[in-house]
């Protein structure tokens, strides 16, 4: 039976600086809002190790946020970790902590594990991305641990087990369906959403569009996102003579992202790695069809074509674009109730 009153402390490298920030780790934001609603009589506290860049504690939707202001500076790491342990000790003394929930197997999981062992507190660790890949030395801290480890998809779980021999429970993220606008006419043929970096593999995205434009001459393609590869992507678009076809919108609010999805036909996702792919949930609930590689929670269906090569991506997009009619339907893969209950079971195990 779930406890109705408890103290849960969340540890994360970063967090939104205010309730107005809709783009910083949206999956975590949705999850925490739901958890707060599920545990109205419980105290939820969150320590954010690196950002926002402030030392001032603030309230975020009823959750106390304590930023440690590490600023992603290597020389401040030890100081930040010591600060985290001291704050955990202080809040545990003031109101005993029932569960520590760390996000990413990194510094947060390391500090969470150390504190939970010393004070006999339950520890839950959720992997969020590339922390399941080989080379992550922090995973050694969880060898022979009693911490409950959570991955986000079958692919994610398999990656962790293959690389680090760590077993995990799969708990997918969920959506706040109230955030989504009404579905509308498709004004965008192909949409790309995600950080503009090497992992998202936008070179394949542009190559696919270059092939499609030979047949579908009036394509309207939009890319939403920003990042270190922005200049290279802009140059690639120009070099491929797609400036009249591809619009790079950069970083926009989550509301605007969902608005664009509601009027898009196809999500083309060329990422080479995903732990989950929150954008997949958003696209399906926005009535879109998906073409992607076998990453995250990818699963072939009437709405999703999973590919193993760039050539296959082109063919899949070609098939969808050639459809004369397509009724847009919302597809919901994982529910809020399933996700929250699964975590509550871990907290109360």
Give one DSSP letter per residue of 54-113, joined into a string: ----EEETTEEEEE---TT-GGGHHHHHHHHHHHHHHHHHHS--SEEEEESTTHHHHHHH
- Token pair 């400036």: residue: 243
Which pLDDT tens digit goes with each residue over 131-161?
A: 999 999 999 999 999 999 999 999 999 999 9
Is the pLDDT at 280 greater than 50? The verdict is: yes
Nearest residue to 264 via CA among 220, 214, 308: 220
Q: Name residues whose C-beta falls within 8 Å of residue 248's C-beta, 6 or more positions apart in sequence.
A: 223, 230, 233, 234, 237
The answer to whether the beta carbons of residues 122 and 347 sit under 8 Å apart is: yes
pLDDT digits (tens, 9 = 90+) for 219-263: 999 999 999 999 999 999 999 999 999 999 999 999 999 999 999
Average pLDDT over residues 192-200: 93
Which of 342, 255, 267 has the alpha carbon at shortest distance from 304? Answer: 267
Say how far apart CA 227 and CA 6 lie, in whole Å. Answer: 39
Is the pTM higher than 0.85? yes
For residue 1, pLDDT over 80 is answered with no
| Residue-level pLDDT at 329 | 93
Query: CA of 59: how far to CAs of 30, 42, 67, 179, 298, in Å?
Result: 16, 15, 11, 21, 36
Report the candidate in 65, 81, 84, 71 with the shortest Cα–Cα distance to residue 21: 65
Q: How many CA atoms lie within 13 A of 316 on its CB side?
A: 27
Distance CA 120, CA 134 (A): 30
pLDDT of residue 35: 98
Burial class of residue 56 (count of CB atoms within 10 Å of its CB; 0-12, 13-18, 19+) = exposed
Beta strand 58-60 with 7-14 is unpaired
What local confidence, expressed as pLDDT, does residue 4 receive?
66
Mean pLDDT value of segment 70-85: 95
CA angle 16, 18, 24 (to 5 degrees): 25
Percentage of the chain beyond pLDDT 90 is 96
Cα–Cα distance measured from residue 36 to residue 17, given in angstroms and rounded to the nearest whole number:
18
Confidence (pLDDT) at 166: 98
How confident is the model at residue 2, as a pLDDT?
A: 56
Mean pLDDT of 110-114: 98
Q: How many CB atoms lie within 10 A of CB 119?
A: 13
pLDDT band at 5 (very low <50, low <70, confident <90, very high): confident
Average pLDDT, the chain: 96
Model confidence at 339: pLDDT above 80: yes
Q: Which residue, among 81, 97, 129, 75, has the nearest Cα to 347 in the 3D structure?
A: 97
**Strand ranges (E), the chain:** 7-14, 43-51, 58-60, 63-67, 99-103, 122-126, 148-151, 169-170, 188-193, 221-224, 246-250, 264-269, 289-293, 304-307
Residues 108, 102 contacting (CB under 8 angstroms): yes
Report yes or no: 172 and 152 within 8 Å, Cβ to Cβ. Answer: yes
Cα 42-109-280 angle, rounded to 5 deg: 80
Question: 53 vs 50, 67, 253, 279, CA distance in Å?
Answer: 7, 8, 20, 27
Tens of pLDDT, residues 294-317: 999 999 999 999 999 999 999 999
Q: What are phi and psi of 143, to 5 degrees?
A: -65, 130
Phi, psi of 57 (to 5 degrees): -70, 140
Compute and round to an integer the Cα radius of gyration of the chain: 21
> What is the share, in percent, of the chain residues with pLDDT greater than 70?
99
Task: Of 198-202, 272-276, 287-291, give the lowest mean pLDDT range.
Answer: 198-202
| Cβ 132 vs Cβ 159: under 8 Å | yes
């Amino acid at each position: 039976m779930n406890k109705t009153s408890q103290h849960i402390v969340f540890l994360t490298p970063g967090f939104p600086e205010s309730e107005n920030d809709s783009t910083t780790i949206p999956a975590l934001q949705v999850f925490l809002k739901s958890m707060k609603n599920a545990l109205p009589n419980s105290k939820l506290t969150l320590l954010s190790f690196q950002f926002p860049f402030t030392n001032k504690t603030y309230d975020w939707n009823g959750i106390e946020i304590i930023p440690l202001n590490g600023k992603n500076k290597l020389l401040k790491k030890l100081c930040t970790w010591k600060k985290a342990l001291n704050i955990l000790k202080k809040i545990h003394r003031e109101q005993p902590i029932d569960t520590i929930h760390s996000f990413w197997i990194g510094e947060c999981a390391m500090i969470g594990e150390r504190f939970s062992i010393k004070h006999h507190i339950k520890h839950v660790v959720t992997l969020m991305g590339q922390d399941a890949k080989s080379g992550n030395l922090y995973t050694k801290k969880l060898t022979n641990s009693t911490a409950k480890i959570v991955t986000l998809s079958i692919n994610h779980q398999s990656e962790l087990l293959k690389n680090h021999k760590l077993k995990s429970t799969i708990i997918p993220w969920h959506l706040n369906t109230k955030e989504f606008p009404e579905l509308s006419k498709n004004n965008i043929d192909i949409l790309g959403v995600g950080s503009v970096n090497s992992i998202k593999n936008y070179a394949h995205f542009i190559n696919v569009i270059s092939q499609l434009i030979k047949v579908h001459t009036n394509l309207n393609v939009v890319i939403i996102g920003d990042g270190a590869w922005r200049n290279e992507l802009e140059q690639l678009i120009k070099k491929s003579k797609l400036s009249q076809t591809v619009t790079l919108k950069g970083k926009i609010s989550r509301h605007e992202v969902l608005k664009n999805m509601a009027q898009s036909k196809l999500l083309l996702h060329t990422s080479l790695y995903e732990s989950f792919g929150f954008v997949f949930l958003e696209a399906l609930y926005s009535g879109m069809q998906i073409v992607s590689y076998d990453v995250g929670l990818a699963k072939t269906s009437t709405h999703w074509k999973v590919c193993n090569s760039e050539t296959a991506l082109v063919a899949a997009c070609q098939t969808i674009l050639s459809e004369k009619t397509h009724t847009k339907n919302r597809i919901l893969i994982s529910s809020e109730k399933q996700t929250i209950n699964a975590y509550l079971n871990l907290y109360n195990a």
